[in-house]
Copies of this chain bind each other. A is one copy, B any other.
Amino acid sequence: MTSSEGTRGGRRGNTRQRIQDVALELFVQQGYEKTSLREIAEHLDVTKAALYYHFKTKEDILIGLFEDLARPVDELIEWAKEQPRTLETKHEILRRYSAALAGAEGLFRFIQENQAAVRELRTGEDFKERMLRLLEMLREPDAALADQVRCFSALFSMHAGMFVLRDAESDPEEKRKAILEVATDLVTQANAGQGEKG
């Protein structure tokens, strides 16, 4: 598909995407604030001005990245809204969320590590809201506080787990499964606890 390159650099039409890719890479490596547009441009072998043709501001590049991520999560939320509020549904939410995360590890890591930068973005807020919507779907509002923590912990560990266990022995897919298992456990316990306290 993108194989008709070779003639000359093979730009055209995909520059926007290339900018996003490089930007994400650098943002993850060095943080948003520490990454300058000059750097991004140099990596792409274009001028800074070219970036501004595709994105109105530096922040806009970030927003673009967020939007790409938002979609799968939105779809997950949409799907979840139509399901019965059973434990099995909750497990499926975790499974699907885990899959979504696997596909956008970089961005998630970036969000995790650059919350200070992300916080003041409108899109950052949107993202946080989505997160809370997901949390709503896992936890029971009148559960014990510890059970609330369990649900939150399940979600949060899925974010963090991927890159903190980075240097662990096993391969990524096994790691992902282990994390999902723990998260599922936590939610299960939270739901069981429900009966005890309610």
Contact = CB atoms under 8 A, between A and B. Distances in A.
A148 B161 CA distance: 11
Interface string A139-171: 000001110111011001100110011001010
Most chain B C-beta atoms within 10 Å of own C-beta, residue among A34, A117, A144: A117
Contacts of A68: none
A182 B165 contact: no
Contact of A168 (B32, B113, B148, B160): B148
Contacts of A120: 30
Interface string A79-120: 000000000000000000000000000000000111111011
Nearest to A168: B148
A31 interface: yes
A178 interface: yes
Nearest to A27: B116
Contacts of A189: 185
A128 to B, nearest CB: 10
A136 interface: no
Interface of A: 30-34, 112-117, 119-120, 144-146, 148-150, 152-153, 156-157, 160-161, 164-165, 168, 170, 174-175, 178-179, 181-182, 185-186, 189
